Structure 1
Amino acid sequence: MNRDFRSVAAAVISVVALSACGSVPQPATQGAAVAKAAVAPPAVIKEGQIVYCSDISAPPLEFYDAARKPQGADIEIGDAIARKLGVQPVWRHTKFASIIPTLVARQCDAILSQLYIKPEREEVVDFVPYMYSGQSILVPKGNPKRVGGLDETLCGLAVSTLISTTAASRIDEQSKKCEQAGRPAIKITRFDQDIAALQELALGRSDAYATTSETAAYYMGQQKETYEFAGAAFDKVKAGIAVRKGNTGLHDAITKAFEQIRSEGTYDQILAKWNLQVDKL
């Protein structure tokens, strides 16, 4: 899910009004704390817990299953970090537009919701980078048109994508390059819903589908024998786990815990489970 279009202006306003807002925190999705706590108040709000703010509406990163239990790559990464910290993870569903003000208002301890690292956000919060986000090309299994990614192999092919997205802009740019090189333009079909753009590929009316890497991974996970990535992801940006500005105790503890789950292979296993290897840091 591409969250880049959402405003970050709310990050520095209306913080006080949040003191009574926010949905009920969700209990941990995995086991209880298993080690002596590496963090304690005031680095975290409550002893023995780390409360994550997350917009739990973006599969495969974070979403609710049929039992209203948080699932996804971000959820599993957050739970793994919590275990290393020796605290219980608690998930507070928070709308993305208000997620930074909610953190600043001490309604949670950290944001784990594929928050892009941007200069204006770094003025308000401190980040621990943990993955990339990017755009990808999805093609039918076996890649019958031999698409190499965002390159000249798309010239003359039909590509479906979503209106007003980074992927759509980049396909437009590539189409112009095709024409400048004397090759056929890309036949671009734009939709207002991802599922419609994917359906175009499924019906054989497009040869490739351009979208975010995360959206592509989600659909691949749903239909593992139907689709595959073509070429490398493009327009990659770093996403980070955010903590309140100056909260060095929690920032450093999360940094250490994250490096531990990377070195032990847990991080790689989580990304592989959710088809997000293209987003590996």
Structure 2
Amino acid sequence: MHSKRSLLIRSLVASAALLAFGAGTAHADLLKDIREAKKIRIALDTGSPPYGFVDDAMKPVGSDVETAHLLAQDLGVAIEIVQTTSPNRIPFLQTGKADIVVASLSVTPEREKVIDFSVPYAQILAVVAGPKGASIKSFEDLKGKRVATTRGSNNDKVVTTGAKDAQIVRYDDDATLVTAAVSGQADIIATSPAIVSTVLAKSPQKDLEQKFVMQTVPLGIGLRKNEPELKAWINDWVAKNTANGKLAVIYKKYHGGQ
């Protein structure tokens, strides 16, 4: 009786150990899945010009859009664009709605806790812009002022942390922020130089200029944790297209000399 019980216990322990080993070593291989499906789902924010926007022909364009198309082409698969906004970029990854995110996603320590990033493929400045006559040189000068930004963006985080005594007004995406700035609803904005340029392009007479740089951060392609094959392929792709100048050409096309 005791021998049977001992045998059963040893069997259960061995099974548990085998399952634990399997759980610890197994991981998904999204790169393989993408190649087998012949399609990659890329989350893009088409409300964030010039990174992503819709042209007169209702076609998604922009530096991130063109970067995503190049990536899919080099991977040898079709691209499925998954429309996203700043607050949804990371949730779309975590819930499996997108395979990767190419949507002006800045690399921050907080985000690195929940998702992985490729090596940087570009950089972005976080700036404060306001009326030309306004004396705004630092966060301290925003005390008591109404500052507009895009909800869930790195700009939101940086200005909220830096300008603790400002009144922060949040818009759901960059396109709405641009509309607010053009219409006069937002005089001071915490955003990127590209968005400032977009506001001035839509309203050349607008009394707006860049006041100070809050932060300079790298942009990375976002992907889920524990995808070493996909991450390695993307890192290699970024390195090659940085070396051959293709990513720089795309960036300059939409951002000029920034």
TM-score by length of 1: 0.56
- 1:68-79 matched pairs, under 5 angstroms: 68-79=58-69
**Aligned amino acid, residue 217 of structure 2:** V
Match of 2:229 among 222, 231, 249: 249
Q: How does 1:5-44 map to 2 (within 5 A)?
A: 41-44=31-34
Structure 2 counterpart of 1:259: 239
Alignment of 1:57-76 (within 5 A): 57-76=47-66
Determine the structure 2 residue equivalent to 1:269: 249
Match of 1:133 in 2: 124
- The answer to whether the 8 Å contact 1:51/1:90 transfers is yes
User: How many residues in Structure 1 have an aligned counterpart in Structure 2?
Assistant: 214
- 1:162 and 2:148 matched: yes
For residues 114-153 of structure 1, what are the structure 2 equivalents within 5 Å?
114-128=104-118, 129-136=120-127
Q: Is the 8 A contact 2:55 2:61 kept in 1?
A: yes
1:230/1:66 Cα in 2 relative to 1: closer, same or farther (>3 Å)?
Answer: closer
1:235/1:71 CA distance change after superposition, 3 Å: same
Task: Output the CA distance in 1 between the equivalents of 2:207 and 2:239.
Answer: 32
- Cα offsets for 1:74-131 (capped at 9, x unmatched): 1111112223323222211134434333323333210111223233432332101333
Measure how far apart 1:60 and its partner are: 1.7
Local SS of the residue matching 1:162: strand
Match of residue 23 from structure 1: none
The residue number in structure 2 matching 1:105 is 95
TM-score (norm 2): 0.60
Structure 1 alignment gaps of length 5 or more:
1-38, 174-187, 201-205
The Cα of 1:243 is off from its aligned counterpart by 1.3
Hey, what's the Cα distance between the residues in 2 that align with 1:94 and 1:242?
13
Does the residue aligned with 1:124 lie in a helix, a strand or coil?
coil
Equivalent residues of 2:125, 2:217 under 8 A apart? yes
3-state SS in 2 of match to 1:216? helix
Coordinate RMSD, CA, aligned: 4.3
- Secondary structure, counterpart of 1:117 in structure 2: coil
**Of 81, 84, 92, which residue of structure 1 is paired with 2:82?**
92
| 2:38–2:76 contact (8 Å) kept in structure 1 | yes
How far 1:136 sits from its partner (Å)? 3.2
Distance in 1 between residues matched to 2:86 and 2:127, nearest whole Å: 23
Question: Within 1, Cα distance between the matches of 2:70 and 2:225?
Answer: 23
SS of the residue 1:81 aligns to = helix
Is residue 130–residue 189 contact of structure 2 (8 Å, CA) maintained in 1?
no
1:234–1:138 Cα change, 3 Å: same
Deviation at 1:149, TM superposition (A): 7.0
User: What is the deviation of 1:242?
Assistant: 1.1
Residues 1:55 and 1:275: Cα distance change in structure 2 (over 3 Å): closer
- State the partner residue of 2:14: none
User: Letter of the aligned partner of 1:257 in structure 2?
Assistant: W
Superimposed CA distance per residue, residues 38-78 of structure 1 (whole angstroms, 9 cap, x where no aligned partner)? x9853527533221022332222212234332111111111
Provide the residue aligned with 2:191 in structure 1. 212
Identity across aligned pairs (percent)?
22
Work out which of the two has the higher radius of gyration on C-alpha atoms and give 1 or 2. 2
Q: Which SS does the other structure have where 2:103 is aligned?
A: strand
* Contact residue 182 and residue 203 of structure 2 kept, 8 A: no
Conserved 8 A contact 2:49-2:195: yes
**Kindly tell me: are residues 148 and 76 of structure 1, through their superposed partners in 2, closer, same or farther at Cα, counting changes over 3 Å?**
farther
CA drift of 1:210 comes to 5.1
